[in-house]
Structure 1
């Protein structure tokens, strides 16, 4: 076997390409590597990186023939031929194999045996054990016995470790399982389960379950490893299948059946049996989710095809969260970074699903669902996602989430013209690819090594005035800070003030200074912001408080009147909003009592604008057999899919903060409303 990498799958793939027929199809590689199609493409990419590091040609591809290596690459690879096919493991991989051996409960797991098996010294194994504790399954520990090392503790946690390694397609662990009995039998029985239930797993999910079940059946031959205790599970096709499988290979216990049933339900599906009561309820919830996303994004996603695809995904998501089957994918870190606005809209849209689930959705699950929305948005409106502004500065924090958010808020308030990412952990940051279209600066509270791609600047979790002076200087050098005279004066005065006095309302002081310098030098005003804030759009002429009772259609006309007066919209725009509502129902209700009244740009929009109407006497929006209480109308006139992004993000933050929303409802003048709107900018994390 060729040996060009510490990763066994790379060595296997390049060896397959170097042997036998010249051209290998994807199907050939799937078969020889025992991987899914998607995994093959992943390892093709990884192998190209390894070849590039050696100065060799990439794997070549013919449109019809398949994949192959150039002759020059084949010649150069001969020096990497190695008779001993055992891969050379790095420290992380070696420790994974030690944990694997501990979980298998080998009765003679001595340091000498491990050093021989892993081809390292005994001292290296001793060092590995010293570093092993953080990587062990939860609630387990390593003890010394008369026969060597042993792992004691939670059986469930040990199984979870194996499941996660397989979910991450760890080639070292997969290689161990391929040699176990019952692999083919489990494959056939899982296929039969999918036929019986009408629910079909995705390729990766099916492979994961086959590997895990094959390992589990072998483990259950040791009755000391069987789960015991009560587990109340319903008698359905899944539990019946589990009982039959366990009866064939091991002892059936309620705990084993219940635990296995949860994993089966949590597996990612590609097709769902739509006849079940649960599927019908979920489809209704999914439609509400899609309508909420459409109401704030301005893109109609409520189609049968998309609803079916999203409901299929949410089916598995529901059970993963309900049964605490954690989902994690390193690639989702890039989604969180690149599409933070899409993440914000998705989080808002998912409230009906979280209510249905009675539990919040994790950040990884949220990012995965955002991918579904992003794919459909890209199909309908290709330029929409491209318009999202990428962060100028990435925040990497090791402190608690509360401190991280304080840092984010301080930076966003002090430097409103700079786009900061949400705080990332050091682990998440290390998985990011910053080589293409990345940020201009990494700002971190962690002591970390500088990257060659982007400059790194350390700052305290709660910055001092000296920190802010360093930041301002760095931002100016990178071209991130506005160099206009007005902005320079504001920051210069702020730096002086914070050196000698405590500032309780930093944002208010900044705004007052900016207003003052604008009045002193009106001719130096900067260029208009192409993404105005909620405060910029909801000026006093655009905000109304209505004491008299009106019907909902009159309320819509009243809400849009300020935009008609200043020429932002034509009179037909309000009529079109009413028409859309009558045809499609109250989907513009984005919160109980709140309507985001809008139509398409071509329905009469002249320029970007927003308005606000608060009804002191709530009215009822009754349409298509549905009745909704209506008290607040935000009117939105959007000229494209981009300009209103910043303001809309702040609006969502305001509505999701129940305290701020109640202050808005009770406000009796514009000054109080303006204060509430200003506070909403602090909630955009």
Structure 2
């Protein structure tokens, strides 16, 4: 939904954020809602008064958190809160009224009449009209005419309907409920066609608008050529099935153009849970080629191998439906977009790469909402591949204070490991290399000497499960890389770094000249092979590896070693560099040329680099350090950068 229609009830937004997130800082709420600290505090106070003890928003440990005490009462209060509003005190609802009047009136509508009907001032109406005009522009619709002679909507009927469906449907059509017999027939159709919930809701919305416009004499006179090829798709059969059965109930003829309109929610549907339901829909060669090229692009740009596995069909259908949405101008809303961007940083970066490829192929703009859905798929691919590679099949628990303590550790451990993971308990007297070498991980409450190949984590009898989970992940990464994790710093990039791989760059040289300088130094120290520089230049010529305006991430295959080589270069003075004036930090990554490369480590490195790049101030501060030690000290003081 456009932001032009989303600013009417701030306390509802505060509540929505706190329901979606476990907790939110004051700074986050300020930034999200673009208001002052005082406004947020007043909103929280008002919400707590409205909840009247049935729920409570409490400020703890620097964050606001929502606690629900009486669930049923809370749901009632919340529902009333979202519904309660004096109609014309809401900008969105005023705009809905204006659109509804203009789209249903054959004659020009005077602004004086609109202002009178809504009991608002002319200045308020003029402000609303400005916002409406801006939003309509994206749908090729205009408000034409003058205030003294009257206003009219000008544009294609189908574009107007899409605008309403995507922005103001609830406000305009909240009282347009379909008749019982129509809804009953639709349920039969949905059941016969095995359509899922989100698609059913979309079809009902489209049908509601279709019937209203058709009955009131606003049919689709002409079809844009973009929509004409829908007549030859298999999905038109679904639309015809629905239309024929609805005609029998209403006794109103549904013309061919309207049937094409009814195809839109079907061709642009979300991929269903049961993929077999859409197996009858043909996937074109164009879609298959695009899916394969997406996988190749991610490998080329990020050296990450995406293997969809048994999700390949589902991902292919998602791409197919997404291309339909782009082609026919169907927009979908991703309700958890901000959370996806925040939690799945690397998958979202992969989605941004995919976006460039799709936009180049289709010449259509991919929305951030679509990016969010792509990121979820990439996150699932990465997670499932990682799970298969890194599954802990067996863990040995060593405890020197008796079996019951070992059982307590096992009970806590069950909260964070897979249900199939085998847990075995031993006393310190049983410890030997042959025994421990059989396990994937050893957890011990006592220090002991044993030359086992299995990684060991020492812990107390009672521990924080999340901290242990992070330690297990850290041990897994550092064990694979055969490097020590910096004590107290759960950062892979800092553990990979040392004094030899930290560089002060030259501000009077370009980005690539500085990259060459870093590579030459690494080559002299035998970290990279002779052809590494050429591979970096080849990759840069195909697509720049400047990550954003402040950070660059040049990376290529390295044949010198089987270990990842990571280095950092900073522009530590205040001079402007001649060609790359905003560039502050260069992260140089040399990836080993081995067949069984572990993408988890790469994903973790990218994740940490993206975490740094998200905060301009962090980047600025890194650029000011004068040596490797200063860099470490900075991150020790700013230990929340990678969290």
TM range (shorter): 0.3 to 0.5
Q: TM-score w.r.t. structure 2 length? A: 0.48
